[in-house]
Amino acid sequence: MIPLKDLNPTRTFPIINIALILINVAVFFYQVALPPDAAHAFVLANATVPMRLPEFLAGSADATSVFVPLFTSMFLHGGLMHLLGNMLFLWIFGDNVEDYFGHIGYLLFYVVCGIGSGLLHVLLNLDSPFPVIGASGAISGVMGAYILLYPRAQVLTFFFIFLVPVPAFVILGYWFVLQFLEGVGRIGMRETGGVAWWAHIGGFLLGLLITVVVRKR
């Protein structure tokens, strides 16, 4: 199932969501325009590398190399399909979440989910030397908020050869279950790179939690 568009109108223009998409696209094209060695150095300097945290605690790494990448890594992607997949989900679900939180509130929400999800991945993989990049953790937070705020909103979905409207809670619930099963299945296994499953899980749950708190207020 590939979601293409939600049938959920907004009251305001999603300026922050569009700006985030444009920034991600601009950084990607800057990244791929660099010579290979420079591109590798650029990614490594701005990616989240879990083992830098214990190195920092041991006094062999500086705080900047540990904590700044929790933010900068949110705007890097490993390839065109990685970028397009993330931006598609952000485009579909981000505008309504921004509509609910307001522009500044949504920006803070997005950043907190991105940093929080990256931190969870770090804490669960402290010995991993593999760099983590991508907006997936922050976008997972957006999806967590959406499923709580608009569970019955219809999402136009490409299913085999058909376009069918599917409730958001089905699409997003199915996605979260897949992430959770993958994450649990890798507990105790040594990190070898690939998808940061627990960043997805953590971002989704953090998005849910923040939305619950905001709704109560």
In the chain, domain spans: 2-216
The CA distance from 118 to 74, in Å, is: 9
Residue 139's nearest CA partner among 61, 68, 194, 85 is 85
Q: What is the edge-to-edge ordering of all strands in the sheet holding 2-6?
A: 2-6, 154-159, 162-167
> Is residue 133 a contact partner of residue 47, using CB atoms and an 8 Å limit?
yes
Q: What is the pLDDT of residue 86?
A: 95
94-136 residue pLDDT tens: 999 999 999 999 999 999 999 999 999 999 888 889 999 999 9
> How is 61-95 classified by DSSP, letter by letter?
S-HHHHHTHHHHGGG--SSHHHHHHHHHHHHHHHH
Tell me the pLDDT band of 54, cut-offs 50, 70 and 90: very high
Tell me the pLDDT band of 160, cut-offs 50, 70 and 90: confident
Six-digit token string for 169 = 């809670």
Six-digit token string for 182 = 């993958």
Q: What is the pLDDT of residue 150?
A: 96
Fold (CATH) for 2-216? Rhomboid-like fold (1.20.1540)
